[in-house]
Amino acid sequence: MPTKKRSRLSAADRREQLISVAQQLFAEHGVQPTTVEDIATAAGVTKPLIYEHFGGKEGLYAVVVDRAMRDLLDQLVGSLTAGGGSRELLERGAVALLTYIEEHPAAFRVLLRDSPTWHGSGSAASILSTVSSHVEAIVIEVFERNDLDVEVVPIYAQMLVGMIGFTGEWWIESGSSLSRDTVAAHMVNLAWHGLGHIEKEPTLKTL
């Protein structure tokens, strides 16, 4: 009786498989400890195939990070440019980030890890910096309405984005049973009511 041949993946499908396998390994073990051999073994291929598609671990890592960054930015920026009031935009931004974390935990973990020395800039920092530039539009509206100094808006935008980003990191890493919308609601509660009671000329009370 003839043996049934296993179906072979197309080049495109094989590439996607390698990206998915590498992303999971990078998320679980880190980039530096993960070897090309680890990726090849997990994917059920030979090492030369990985070099053929990506030129090595560095090239594969770059593809994994670039795709994760693009997907997250598309989701976040889309939520912040869809119009609406300041609070609505803040809520949508928080939900968009937490949704991405919930749906793509491995990709988010890769972004949270420090980039290896042979890769460009820190990925998570780059994303938060880009997103904060979009958040500035929300904060400016609040500042102008309350006759506050718009020159310091970038500080508040960075703080808001950092709060959401690091809370999202805690949410996924702690295994919290809190739902996405509950976490988002509490973040918005602090951010919004904090913005609503900003002092015009803040000072440090203990110095």
pLDDT grade, residue 179 (50/70/90)? very high
Spatial CB neighbours of 132, under 8 Å, sequence gap ≥ 6: 154, 157, 158, 160, 161
Residue 18 lies in a domain: no
Residue 5 lies in a domain: no
pLDDT at res. 3: 45
Average pLDDT of the residues of the chain: 83
Residue 201 lies in a domain: no
Its pTM stands at 0.77
3-state percent helix, strand, coil for the chain, nearest multiple of 5: 70, 0, 30
CATH number, position 168: 1.10.357.10
Residue 81 lies in a domain: yes
Residue 87 lies in a domain: yes
Residue 3 lies in a domain: no
Whether the pLDDT of residue 125 is over 70: the answer is no
Other CB atoms within 10 A of residue 143 CB: 19
Other CB atoms within 10 A of residue 151 CB: 8
DSSP string, 96-147: HHHHHHHH-HHHHHHHHSPPPTTSSS-HHHHHHHHHHHHHHHHHHHHHHHTT
d(CA 26, CA 39): 9
d(CA 49, CA 2): 28
Residue 145 lies in a domain: yes
d(CA 162, CA 187): 11
pLDDT at res. 4: 42
The residue segments making up the domain with residue 98 are 64-196
Whether the pLDDT of residue 43 is over 60: the answer is yes
Total number of domains constituting the chain: 1
Spatial CB neighbours of 139, under 8 Å, sequence gap ≥ 6: 153, 156, 157, 160, 195
Choose among 165, 27, 199, 22: nearest CA to 96.
165
Residue 51 lies in a domain: no
Spatial CB neighbours of 111, under 8 Å, sequence gap ≥ 6: 65, 68, 69, 72, 123, 124, 127
Q: What is the mean pLDDT of residues 179-190?
A: 91
